[in-house]
Amino acid sequence: MDYQLLAELLYPHIKTLPEDMEKRYPPRQLPEGAKVTRFAPSPTGFLHIGNLYGAFADERLAHTTDGVFYLRIEDTDAKRTVENGVELIIETLAKLGVHFDEGAVKDGDKGDYGPYRQSERAEIYQTYAKQLVREGKAYPCFCTEEELDANRAKQEELKLTPGYYGEFAPWRDAPLEKILEKLAEGAPFVLRFHSDGNVENKFKFTDEIKGVINVTENDIDHVILKSDGIPTYHFAHAVDDHLMRTTHVIRDESWLSTLPFHIQLFKALGFKLPKYCHTAQVLKLDEGNKRKISKRKDPEFALTFYHAEGYPVAAVREYLLTIQNSNFEEWRIANPTADMESFKFSLKKMGVSGSIFDLDKLNDISKNVISRMNADEVYENTLAWANENDADYAAILAADPAYAKSIFAIGRGGNKPRKDLTLWKDTKDYVSFFYDSLFAPEYTLPAAVSADDAKAICQQFAAGYNEADEQTVWFDKMKQIAANLGYAPETKLFKKNPESYKGHVGDISMVLRVAVTGRQNSPDLYEVMKILGKDRVVARLNAMIER
Ligand code: GLU
């Protein structure tokens, strides 16, 4: 067979050679041990927790080794491309603290190894495909859909492995004349890999996460270029990961089944194999049983969920590290305040079987993360969330930043900070009683207090309220009111002699809390009143009196 001639006939427009590509994309000059990783999604714009799991591992691996993390868009399937898909991907990940060093950007590329959209790399793929034809390692296949369907049906009937191999591979060693005939007719063809594998042969392979695994050789002549000259995933990733000098391919374990073919492809192309890292699936516990996290059943599947709910970026990152590296929690206990970026991420510590995603645990981490922030950080994050999700709330917060910050400062900074916020979304309810436009009181009084007493309490407190009072003076005034109205000024006294009193000073402060905040639970009432200011406090007391 004159492979040289065949190559020219199939791809006459390709004038470049692999060596031209090697020159165009030379090895990267990086420090010893630096890892080059990539995130390679289809531009559907939709990202899920599995994507984040992979992208985050990519990002950590590159950025903890002075390496490079780049974005490659796998858009060879036009059906899966949406407008703004690339932008959405970049934005969604950036909002979760995952940033690329190079790769596809909104309207083009950033970096020397582009183009980073596979749809713009046809010449590159065809250069290598043509070379494989020259070497007798790839051949055109003119089978029609009907012929392939008939093959499949026959294989099913005979309970044979499906695919293009052996007697089911009519074009595998077809004579040149037959091919020429088809080409002369202008018949469409795909380019197939001429596999030299044998399913009887097994070999050992080391995956960077799974460890040593047993692999069976591939004997199927998979398609590498479709009839329009566009590559399949298998071929495109081999060429791209080689030329973009990827050192570590981190991808979902569902790719393990085609790994034998990928190993063959790298060998046939004369490329050094990157390290493969197949990640376990993200699972959920559902009534005690493990199952795959699902788009349909679990809102937390989509990454947009985390933005809409308002999870702090640090919480999501911290949680991911918890499920990705088995030693992270231990490290966190030993280094409670350390920046998580200083944790040494390792592939070896990644789970081999599925990682369980637990929203309660994430919420817990989120509470801790927010409790460690100062008021300015809480304000900035809340405002950013509100700007995207709740314009009215954003306007309220932005109207008086100092006031909002004084609210968020309550209970912060000490060694036992309050942990009552889990999500930025929660803050609206938390701050609502500080703003008249959001104030929606529920006047539920303590059982011991009659409506008349409640009014009397508010009246007496309003009459004596002085913003300048120290906390003890402020509280003494409540004790005085208690005594005036037949309530015990100390809880102790009440406990000793409950029959002698209507209630105790705690009932007085509860009535005031309900009047001023509209609820029975609130942060420290003394601080709350200071922030609200005398006018608002008195107005709210009056509102209770006038009920
Ligand atoms: N485009 C492939 C996917 O979205 C990428 C797999 C890989 O990272 O190699 O699943």
Strands 275-279 and 248-252: parallel
486-532 tens-digit pLDDT: 999 999 999 999 999 999 999 999 999 999 999 999 999 999 999 99
Beta bridge partners of 418: none
State the maximum Cα–Cα separation within the chain, in Å, rounded to a whole number: 113
Across 354-366, average pLDDT: 93
pLDDT-derived band at 80, boundaries 50, 70, 90: confident
Q: Using DSSP, how many helices (H) and how many strands (E) does the chain show?
A: 23, 14
Closest ligand 1 atom to 241 CA:
9
Q: Name which of 258, 10, 274, 257 is nearest 132 in CA terms.
A: 10
Across 133-150, average pLDDT: 97
420-449 tens-digit pLDDT: 899 999 999 999 999 999 999 999 999 999
Instruction: Quote the CA–CA distance of 369 and 346 in Å, as a whole number.
Output: 23
CB atoms near residue 69 (< 10 Å) = 22
Query: For the chain, what is the mean pLDDT?
Result: 95
The length of the chain in residues reads 547
Q: Which residues, judged by CB distance below 6 Å to any ligand atom, belong to the binding site of ligand 1?
A: 40-42, 74, 237, 249, 251
Does residue 81 have a pLDDT over 80?
no
213, containing H or E segment? strand 211-216
363 CA → ligand 1 middle, Å: 29
pLDDT given for residue 413 in this prediction: 81
pLDDT given for residue 83 in this prediction: 83
259 CA → ligand 1 middle, Å: 13
318 CA → ligand 1 middle, Å: 24
pLDDT given for residue 452 in this prediction: 96
Give 337: exposed, middle or buried? Use CB within 10 Å, 0-12, 13-18, 19+: exposed
Across 256-264, average pLDDT: 97
Does residue 242 have a pLDDT over 80?
yes
276-294 tens-digit pLDDT: 999 999 999 998 899 999 9
Tell me the CA end-to-end span of the chain in Å, nearest whole number: 99
Does residue 387 have a pLDDT over 90?
yes
74 CA → ligand 1 middle, Å: 7
Look up tokens 């000490």; give the residue.
Answer: 414
Nearest C-alpha to atom 5 of ligand 1 is from which residue? 40
101-124 tens-digit pLDDT: 999 998 899 999 999 999 999 999
Q: Name which of 282, 288, 321 is nearest 302 in CA terms.
A: 282
Instruction: Quote the CA–CA distance of 283 and 267 in Å, as a whole number.
Output: 35
